[in-house]
Amino acid sequence: MAYVATRGGEKAIEQAERLFRQDLGTIDPDRVETIRRTMPYLIDRVMGEASLYSEELAALALAQTGGELSEAVLVLRAWRTTQPRIAIARPVQQSELLTQRRISAAFKDIPGGQILGPTLDYAHRVLATDVLEGRPYTPPMVDMADRPAPQRQPVLADWQRQQGLVKPAVPSEIAPEDIPDLTREPLLLPASRAHRLQSLARAETGGVLALGYSAMRGYGNAHPTVNELRLAEAEVVVRHPRGAQFSAGRVRVSQAEVTSKEKGGYLELGYAATFGWNEVKVIAAATLDLNSAEAPVGSAVHEEFYLYHTESVEASGFCIHFKLPHYVTFQSVLDAMRGAKARQASARAAEENQEESVP
Amino acid sequence: MSLATLTKPWAATSYGFLDASAKRELRRKMLKAVAVPGCQMPYASREVPMARGWGTGGLQVTLTLANPGSVIKVIDQGADDGVNAASIRRFVSSVSGAAQTWDTLDASIIQSRHRIPEEILRENQVLVLQVPDPEPLRDVESNISIARQMHADADYGKLWLTLYEQIVRKGRIMQGASYPALVNGRHVITPSPIPRWDVPKLHMSKHLTILSAGREKRIFAVPPFTRVEPLVFSDRPYLVEDHAGLTCQRSGLSGFFMNELPMDGGGSRFEVSDSNLGIKAIRRTEGEPDGIGDTWYRNGEYSA
């Protein structure tokens, strides 16, 4: 087997993986629980991109990949896809959401009020270096409001529909099991509304931000106004085989509705929602949705462009695959290049010969 | 009858890793692909425990076809011991119980990236090619909706024009690997990034070839005994890589596709790209029976 002796082969790949895992050390339930408890927004981001709502599994994925986000999302997706789809939850209505934060930039005040909820929006982003000098940071407690905000909030778009500002909503009549499911079928274009929103919901946060930002900055046709932004918890209501509907638990969700200008006598709305609390992602995604209708083919705000290029697992996988050997294709290119050069050289030589022979 | 007799014991993953619904979809799409040779069929392309772009399309096909009686060969750049090939072969074998081999002649399923083995494949073998980009029109039309329409109309004019322009500018067609080919006189495919050397091996072959792009979620097929014709002009013959005269420094083989290895101080040496063919030839020089099967190329000329 002298032929293969110079190659690294199976032993090398095994040792390379060991080296990665050895650097991370032992992964135990404590480490997973610490990640889950202390990094809720990171967990949310990973759950959204994996389209798998499990804080525990997301924390485990982060632990075993050392926080390499695209790897963490990949292991979760690869696990998720092997699981059976056992039920289809009742669609979540906005007005039923247990809302913790809900703001609108379109009006100074809105029915139900502006509920700031948890946010760093108005904080001064100062690094708490004191912590490193042995002075732990303990946040001051929140003062209880005199009157707690209601758990559920009305929908601003409903008020706008009453006023004739937004087109009446026409819910599509579709059996739950017929709702297109992007995780079980390919994305075909033009995408169904379901596929577009599902694809954005599981899109890579940074990718959505980059393309959404390009639309906001001037490469799109619509500058977004945040009509309504919500961070909430949604009940996952499923039907028991015996018929009763019950909540199987709650999931954290974010959703954004952005608007821009009038079209056909109504305000256009762009929409996005995702698992977990991830405001940047839903605002950027809703902006892409808003820009889609009039997007030139091939532009960054055209759905084929942004849906394909914000797919976390596909984009990261393809990017790192360029590390794989490509010497066969390269050899093929070299051959064509050398062939063309030889042809040019012989053509030049023939020309010179001809010139020399001219008296 | 009790419930227990109808169920199986719980297992962390299904046989062959993919669950039954994913395999069913793949079987259906493979049949469709065979029924319309060269036509790209969209499929869900589930995530697998491997990164996209690393053979996930080929892997899903192999996992669906594999059974405990299968014999799996996986190659990358022609080599069985390429790190990724080894990883895929080990995974398929561990989840399906299929046997592993390096010998092209022994394999029932050959999954490959960028090469077709040099030994002629038989009726009872399936070649699974990993495809990074299934769309031969991508360079001339990056929008897949428009490209799909062009396939429907058999509108390949832009592709012909590109090849013609190359002749005008460079004196020859400059396409390296992934040379576009017309399948069954109807659909143009990319044969995946195999070198031009390998494209004739798909034409009227005895074996079935399934080409699967996991990231792009498309599957297409070249059924046995189907025409596969590289796009060429009648006055410009199809040119395979100029490797016919090269000799492998390790095995002494010549007349096959080679890897070029730059040498200190200039110049190159060559090694046969089909690594197991090289091993067989080395065995022959050591006096063992070589077991080299019939090859598509003889003395550097395609002759199958």
Please state, in angstroms and rounded to a whole number, the distance separating the CA atoms of residues A99 and A234: 9
Please state, in angstroms and rounded to a whole number, the distance separating the CA atoms of residues B156 and B163: 11
Do A286 and A278 contact (CB within 8 A), yes or no?
no
Peptide bond into B193 cis (omega under 30): no
B281 in the same domain as B219? no
For A61-81, what is each residue's pLDDT tens digit?
Answer: 999 999 999 999 999 999 999
- Mean pLDDT computed over B76-92: 92
pLDDT at residue A185, rounded to an integer: 94
Which residue's structure tokens are 């946010």? Answer: A119
pLDDT band at A7 (very low <50, low <70, confident <90, very high): low
HSE toward the beta carbon, residue A235, CA cutoff 13 A: 14
Residue B126, in any domain of the structure: yes
Sorted by where each begins, the domain ranges of chain A are: 8-80, 94-118+152-310
Inter-chain CB proximity B195 and A332 less than 8 Å: yes
Residue of A199, A305, A331 to mutate for B, most B C-beta atoms under 10 A = A331
- Mean pLDDT computed over B192-219: 98
DSSP code at position A70: H
Please state, in angstroms and rounded to a whole number, the distance separating the CA atoms of residues B299 and A36: 64
End-to-end CA distance of chain B: 57
Residue B165, in any domain of the structure: yes
Report CA-CA distances (Å) from B283 to A2, A4, A35, B258: 10, 13, 55, 19
Quick one: how far is CA A240 from the chain centroid?
A: 31
**Count of domains forming chain B:** 2
Sort out which chain B residues have CB atoms less than 8 A from A320's CB and list them: 51, 53
For B229-248, what is each residue's pLDDT tens digit?
Answer: 999 999 999 999 999 999 99
DSSP code at position A140: P
CB nearest A9 (choices: B81, B115, B260) = B81
Which of A103, A113, A104 has its CA nearest to residue A150?
A113
* % of chain B at pLDDT higher than 90: 89
Do A182 and A198 contact (CB within 8 A), yes or no?
yes
For A152-183, what is each residue's pLDDT tens digit?
Answer: 999 999 999 999 999 998 888 899 889 999 99
Report CA-CA distances (Å) from A78 to A44, A335, B50, B215: 18, 39, 8, 13
DSSP code at position B48: B
Spell B190-220 as b/e; 16+ CB within 10 A means b: bbbbbbbbbbbbbbebebbbbbbbbbbbbbb
Residue B61, in any domain of the structure: yes
pLDDT at A16 over 50: yes
B198 in the same domain as B287? no
Strands B208-213 and B126-130: parallel
Which of B18, B101, B4 has its CA nearest to residue B65?
B18
Tokens standing for residue A321: 């695959």
Question: What are the residues facing B112 on neighbouring strands?
Answer: B75, B129
Q: How far is A339 from chain B (nearest CA, A)?
A: 8
CATH number for the domain spanning B38: value is: 3.40.50.11310
pTM, full prediction: 0.92
pLDDT at residue A5, rounded to an integer: 34
Q: Write out the DSSP string of A10-60.
A: HHHHHHHHHHHHHHH----HHHHHHHHHH-HHHHHHHHHHHT---HHHHHH
What chain B residue is nearest to A11 in terms of C-alpha separation? Answer: B83
Number of Cβ within a 10 Å radius of residue A34:
13
ipTM (interface predicted TM)? 0.89
pLDDT at residue A358, rounded to an integer: 60
Which of A211, A113, A185, A247 has its CA nearest to residue B43?
A185
Do A314 and B215 contact (CB within 8 A), yes or no?
yes
pLDDT band at A359 (very low <50, low <70, confident <90, very high): low
State the residue range of the domain holding B155: 20-230
Chain A from 179 to 198: CB within 8 A of any B CB = 183-190
Do A75 and B49 contact (CB within 8 A), yes or no?
yes
pLDDT at A2 over 60: no
Sort out which chain B residues have CB atoms less than 8 A from A185's CB and list them: 44
Residue B249, in any domain of the structure: no
Do A50 and B126 contact (CB within 8 A), yes or no?
no
Please state, in angstroms and rounded to a whole number, the distance separating the CA atoms of residues B85 and B91: 10
Please, which residues have CB within 8 angstroms of residue A295's CB and are 6 or more apart in sequence? A220, A221, A301, A302, A303
pLDDT at residue A293, rounded to an integer: 86
- Mean pLDDT computed over B152-174: 95
pLDDT at A1 over 50: no
CB nearest B172 (choices: A330, A332, A340) = A340
Please, which residues have CB within 8 angstroms of residue A129's CB and are 6 or more apart in sequence? none
pLDDT at residue B164, rounded to an integer: 96
B71 in the same domain as B163? yes
B170 in the same domain as B27? yes
Inter-chain CB proximity B172 and A343 less than 8 Å: yes
pLDDT at A357 over 70: no
Residue B252, in any domain of the structure: no
Do A281 and A203 contact (CB within 8 A), yes or no?
yes
Residue B266 phi/psi, 5° resolution?
A: 95, 165
B112 in the same domain as B207? yes
Residue B11, in any domain of the structure: no
Identity at B65, one-letter amino acid code: L
Quick one: how far is CA A147 from the chain centroid?
A: 36
Which of A285, A283, A276 has its CA nearest to residue A233?
A276
- What is the CA angle A241-A242-A245, rounded to 5? 80
Residue B7, in any domain of the structure: no
Do B279 and B102 contact (CB within 8 A), yes or no?
yes
Residue of B60, B130, B168, B241 to mutate for A, most A C-beta atoms under 10 A = B241
Q: How far is A20 from chain B (nearest CA, A)?
A: 16
Inter-chain CB proximity A186 and B43 less than 8 Å: yes
Number of H helices and E strands in chain B, helices first, is: 7, 14
Number of Cβ within a 10 Å radius of residue A224:
24
Which of B298, B303, B285, B193 has its CA nearest to residue B244?
B298
Order the strands of the A225-239 sheet from edge to edge. A98-103, A225-239, A245-263, A266-275
Which residue's structure tokens are 């040379």? Answer: B179
B191 vs A359, higher pLDDT? B191
pLDDT at residue A355, rounded to an integer: 74
For A186-222, what is each residue's pLDDT tens digit?
Answer: 999 999 999 999 999 999 999 999 999 999 998 888 8
Q: How far is B40 from chain A (nearest CA, A)?
A: 13
B264 in the same domain as B226? no
